[in-house]
Structure 1
Amino acid sequence: MSDITIVTAYFDIGRGNWNNSERGNNKYINYFKFWARIKNNLIVYTTKEFANEILSIRKDFGLEEKTKVIIVDDYRAFDRDLYNRIEKVMNNDISKTFHKDIKRPESWNVDYNYVVMLKWYCIEDVISKKYINNNSIIAWLDFGFNHGGKDGLINEEDFNFLWEYNFSNKIHLFTHQKIDVNIPIFEIVRNMDVYIRGNIMVAYVDLWRDFILLAKESMLSLLRCGLCDDDQTIELMAYYERPELFEIHDVDTWYDGLKLFGGEHFIERKKEYKKNKKYKLYKKKAKAYKFNGSYKKAIRYYIKYYKEKYLHFN
């Protein structure tokens, strides 16, 4: 079983000052602390402002020797040309209002869409500087993975383990909803749908090289069309381009990519019953098929929508 090295990053993009956002820097540091006792080798990219605190957290868990903190003076320096391209597109009001909900950061925040792209740049740096050996597995985990237990894993002590799993030689992605290849990317961008969860990605080093190129080209393709979106759409576009490189896992929660693949001991919060809202997905698919001229499929999904919303619950 190959070693799993975890890579993550944290950069201050002013979240604490956003309207309706409660996720400031201290909140994210606490999110990280929740899972930071995991015993794998960990590489963290961040600015000088947070470096000592991050290392101190790992040191408190006796994991200083398994931790490498890379200080980044200016995160925009990873790829200034990409930043400028994103800025140009997102400053266009037509592009901004193309999104269904212009309050969400992927609609208006240049730094947000740029920083979530840095997942691939950080891993590219790890590989090029040979911080790991070539037969290793790299797992990207978001710095705020599991949001400090709010997403369902309630016992931080459960992270006190060495994460191991016999992953196949594919790029492993984990879904938020089942992928429908009939829905075009522009429709996904407009409706702001999420198909792949961006908080965890796993692959061997060689496949990360392919994934990095696919991700960069996917973002450039969007920008050339005058559109921009976050990492989750970029992952989907990369999968569309080279599906044979990927293994897609249909999961139920944001933490299942870890829990079901080596973290089976995790304790989950008892799930409350939530009303099924599958009908919303049916309506969305019906509209997409209608737009594409696939009227028979559109009718089929409108019927499913009607049955699910008006007959199933009432």
Structure 2
Amino acid sequence: MANTRRYYKELRIAQLRAIVELSKCGSFAATATSLGLSTPSVWQQIRGLEKEFDMSLVVVQGQQVELTGQGETLVELARPVVQGFDAIRHDFCSQEAVTPTLSVAAPNDILVYDLPSAIRSYCESFPDVSLSLVDLPSNPCRELIDRGEVDLAVVGQLDMATSNSLLVDHVCDLPFMLICKPGHPLHELESINLVDLVKYPLIMPSEGTNSRSRIESVFSQSLPLHDLQVAFEASTKSLLMQYVGMNFGIAIAPVSEGFKRQLEGEPHLAFSDVTHLFGVEHITVVRRRHRYESSHQVAFREALIEHYRKEAAGSKSQKRR
């Protein structure tokens, strides 16, 4: 009759390791200590072997355990198997091909203003990890994750809906702000509305970005988009800020604490909260579902989340003052 046992019930390396260690330690308790297991676990491993081979492999005498003749034979056969199995990890990890790697995609603004300190700290803590970064807008970053071409993406989202193939950690929300020159008529208003904004030239984010999508969506609900005076389409936030500072136009964009900190001491820019019109952008860390996450990737992801939350907590503390 064919053997119909399932593979998960058959001989396991842990059982062989247990009897080899038992042959050296001489008791279940000492073997359990050596292997970092409980005494009942070691007992079950040995009993599993006896059931597998349908023979007695050990004789218990009080606290001591002796191998039967069959047990000694099994140990002699199992010892090189266990030693060879243990050598696999060392040999595998010593190969250059298995150097731990981590690839992270993020938009330019996040890479420039939000991540440098977190990345610097991570590289100091994990010097053996080969970290690579990709600079792309948020939507292409998510596409890279979906195709399995990068491990993590730090991106902005206008809503929290996402593909079933992705896992998303929400880390903070960035308010949309009006950015203009100090003394600009808009900056003096207590409440800003869309009619006020369309009076002035706009420096817009590039087509296809979250910011551009949100700005056009909000304006299109009240007026034709061709009524907007688009003076310049900027590919990065730093470029956008530079031309606002030149009084080339006003801008609307989500602003992070890291970005604000970079601009401390800059007298040529003024910020007004316009979340009542444009809402917020959600910053998220995205990874592929059903894909094993290594310990060094978990550490990076958790470090990013903690970094953003500390930034948000610091901002709230300053506002209370």
Q: TM-score, normalised by structure 2?
A: 0.24
Answer 1 or 2: which has greater strand percent: 2
Q: TM-score, normalised by structure 1?
A: 0.24
